[in-house]
Amino acid sequence: MIKQEEKKLFIETLGCQMNDTDSQHIISELKEHKNYSVTNDMEEADLIIINTCSVREKPVSKLFSEIGQFNKKKKKSAKIGVCGCTASHLGSDIMKRAPYVDFVLGARNISKIKDIIDTKGAVEIDIDYDDSTYQFAASGMNLYKTSVNISIGCDKECTYCIVPATRGDEISIPPEMIVMQIEKDAKNGAKEVTLLGQNVNSYGRRFSDKRAKTNFTKLLQEVSKIEGIERIRFTSPHPLHMDDEFIEEFARNPKISKCIHMPLQSGSTKVLKAMKRGYTKEWFLNRAKKIRDLVPEVRITTDIIVAFPGETQEDFEDTLDVINQVKFDQIFNFKYSPRPNTQALELKDKEISDEIGSARLIEVIELHKLHQSELMNPNIGKIVSVLFETLKPNGEVSGFTDNYCQVFVKGSDELLGRIVDVKITSASRTAFKGEVVN
Ligand code: 5AD
Ligand code: SF4
């Protein structure tokens, strides 16, 4: 067989970690089947891909100005493709607005990448497409940590969220495929794996074949048996599915990293109901307390949306109350952004002014800053185990603790890929400095 001429791929990834893995899959498929290698220089690329996010409005408007720039500066023969969630939701409208786009490939259709790049004008955005059993080409990268999708799509109907409309129904990837993928990555040096899905702890309810149901706790137990994997992380779990069995496994299993994302969204039971989150303020507090009681060193992170339509001052104070009680280690804050194809659009007459939204956002950020110092400072002097992964030009090496806080030490590349004891010497609001303990 004649080897194809080597070509260059420039890929930009926006949005969540699932988009990061989708981009990895695009890269490995194009490398294996079309002899592409990645470049960081858009102007020398033969193929330019932008893997998009549509969760909030801002990234969508940014997309068009960005691909306009790409079109001006690219090599004449270079193709442009738009992939991901905005591709799913805008489809061929993307080409109407930007006729120089060569193809549009929706999230959940990523396995078609090697064929679509040669089909000018193609639009593949089927949200019922099932590539849950597609075997993507191996990335071949030697990484200390890896990420593996465990499901595609989302069955929830959170009323603010566009994801079910862009990624379709939830289908779990068969456990044996997940385990095989992680085993391969572990052989290539991965010590840590992150299991990814829109809703990881509803894993195992529906597969594309007729196999028996399973659950996330059982998957965690299977992944724990993989030789070489020392840390297991996952995102995002849904607070509604944090049953006792799951929390007890989280606490008991030494391979599970003691950092958990608990997306609160709102602390008001009334707003949670309007968001169709399926839990109450009390349920959330009860789950967080159970986790903290069983795992005192746990770090809890969250997502919060302020100014959801109809959110009163009293509702907002419920959110502040939960923040005060749980004391999150990290908060991803968002101001509500109305999205197409979502039920919350029906609440248009209850929308909150931008001014109030911004003020509430600032209040959350300021409150959280107080908690961060309170949570970080008591760690000074403690010994923690750190998986080192990056050598910086200033001679510092950085890595993460088991409960996923970033740590910087002076050191060399000898530390990379190793799990080492470190004494914490100082703390900022978001990271530690420390010294390796011999
Ligand atoms: N407006 C603001 N934030 C949103 N998110 C999802 N949809 C919206 C929206 N319409 C946030 C949620 C979710 C995170 C990934 O993005 O907090 O957990
Ligand atoms: Fe969106 Fe809710 Fe699904 Fe998360 S669980 S992706 S917020 S619908």
List, for residues 387-422, the tens digit of each pLDDT value: 999 999 999 999 999 999 999 999 999 999 999 999
Q: What's the whole-model pTM score?
A: 0.93
Pocket test for ligand 1, best of 16, 56, 58 (most atoms within 8 A of CB): 56
CB distance 319 to 272 below 8 Å: no
What secondary structure letter does DSSP report for 419?
A: E
Measured from the Cβ of residue 224, the count of other Cβ atoms closer than 10 Å reads: 15
- Determine the pLDDT at residue 139: 75
Q: Which ranges constitute the DSSP H helices of 243-345? A: 244-252, 269-275, 281-294, 313-326
Length of the chain: 438
Boundary-marking domain end, from 376, 391, 425: 376
Assigned domain for 427 exists: yes
Count H helices and E strands in the chain, helices first.
13, 19
**At residue 369, what are phi and psi to the nearest 5 degrees?**
-60, -40
pLDDT per residue, tens digit, the chain (438 aa), is 556 789 999 999 998 889 999 999 999 999 999 999 999 999 999 999 999 988 988 777 789 999 999 999 999 999 999 999 999 989 999 999 999 999 999 999 999 999 999 999 999 999 999 989 998 987 766 579 999 999 999 999 999 999 999 999 999 999 999 999 999 999 999 999 999 999 999 999 999 999 999 999 999 999 999 999 999 999 999 999 999 999 999 999 999 999 999 999 999 999 999 999 999 999 999 999 999 999 999 999 999 999 999 999 999 999 999 999 999 999 999 999 999 999 999 999 999 999 999 999 999 999 999 999 899 999 999 999 999 999 999 999 999 999 999 999 999 999 999 999 999 999 999 999 999 997
Residue nearest to atom 12 of ligand 1 (CA): 303
Is the Cβ atom of 218 under 6 angstroms away from ligand 2? no
State the closest ligand 2 atom to the C-alpha of 236, by its place in the atom list counted from 1.
4
**Nearest by Cα to 202 from 211, 214, 212:** 214
- Determine the pLDDT at residue 4: 73
Is the Cβ atom of 375 under 6 angstroms away from ligand 1? no
Instruction: Write out the DSSP string of 90-144.
Output: HTTHHHHH-TT--EEEETT-GGGHHHHTTSTTEEE--TT---TT--PPP-----S
The answer on 385 and 370 residing in a single domain is: no
Q: Look up the domain containing 401 and give its range.
A: 380-436
CB distance 165 to 341 below 8 Å: yes
The answer on 415 and 392 residing in a single domain is: yes
Burial class (CB in 10 A: 0-12, 13-18, 19+), 365: exposed
Residue 158 Cα to ligand 2 midpoint, Å, equals 6
The answer on 282 and 355 residing in a single domain is: yes
The answer on 107 and 212 residing in a single domain is: no
Residue type at 138?
Answer: A
The answer on 329 and 268 residing in a single domain is: yes
The answer on 368 and 393 residing in a single domain is: no
Integer Cα distance of 254 and 209 in angstroms: 32
Which ligand number lies closest to the CA of residue 261?
1
Which ligand number lies closest to the CA of residue 154?
2
Residue type at 86?
Answer: T
Residue 161 Cα to ligand 1 midpoint, Å, equals 6
Residue 286 C-alpha from the chain's centroid? 25
Q: Give the model confidence (pLDDT) of 120-176 as tens digits.
A: 999 999 999 998 999 898 776 657 999 999 999 999 999 999 999 999 999 999 999
- At a CB cut-off of 8 Å and minimum separation 6, what does 352 contact? 307, 308, 309, 310, 311, 336
The answer on 63 and 14 residing in a single domain is: yes
